[in-house]
Structure 1
Amino acid sequence: MSCPICKGEAVTKYRPFCSKRCADIDLGRWMNGTYTVPSGREEDPEEIAEALDEMLRTSEANEAKKHHS
């Protein structure tokens, strides 16, 4: 099996990668959004707006509780 990053020979300890460096490069790509997994679901702008509104209301309610405690 070859390393998906550099195409070198994979090492058991870091499989499927050849080194910690290549494993870290791959992790970094996942974390910064270079890699994505499609959801198969269309985004509904209305649903997103409602979810954001709910998060804001919850956040504001939590802040109000902190100040009244």
Structure 2
Amino acid sequence: MSLNVPCPTCKKSVLWDKSSEFRPFCSKRCQLIDLGDWADESHKITQPMQSHEPLTEEMIDAMEEQFLQHNKFFVEPE
């Protein structure tokens, strides 16, 4: 069973599959538009985190590593 989701930027239907390189976005362009919206604070998280467990340095490092693995456009070229 395949799942289609709307692109958060342009609402075009996107197949949620490993073959969809930019999912949930339909393209690199839509992905970068969304990133720009976060950068200029058009998007922001307005509610505090619901977890009662304080974040440790190890937890933050693990989240950062996972994020960088899935978002290669933040990694400096070697």
CA distance in 1, matches of 2:36, 2:45: 15
Unmatched 5+ residue regions in structure 1? 41-69
Of residues 4, 9, 14, the one that matches 1:5 is 9
What is the TM-score with the length of structure 1 in the denominator?
A: 0.52
1:34 is aligned to 2:53: no
Name whichever of 17-26 and 31-40 sits farther off. Answer: 31-40
Helix, strand or coil at the partner of 2:46? coil
1:21 is aligned to 2:29: yes
TM superposition shift of 1:39: 4.4
Larger radius of gyration: 1
Unmatched 5+ residue regions in structure 2? 49-78
| Higher share in helix | 1
Q: Aligned pairs, how many?
A: 40
| Higher share in strand | 2
What is the TM-score with the length of structure 2 in the denominator?
A: 0.47
> Root-mean-square deviation (CA), in Å?
1.4
Letter in 1 for 2:41: G
Show structure 1 runs of 4+ deviating over 3 A: none
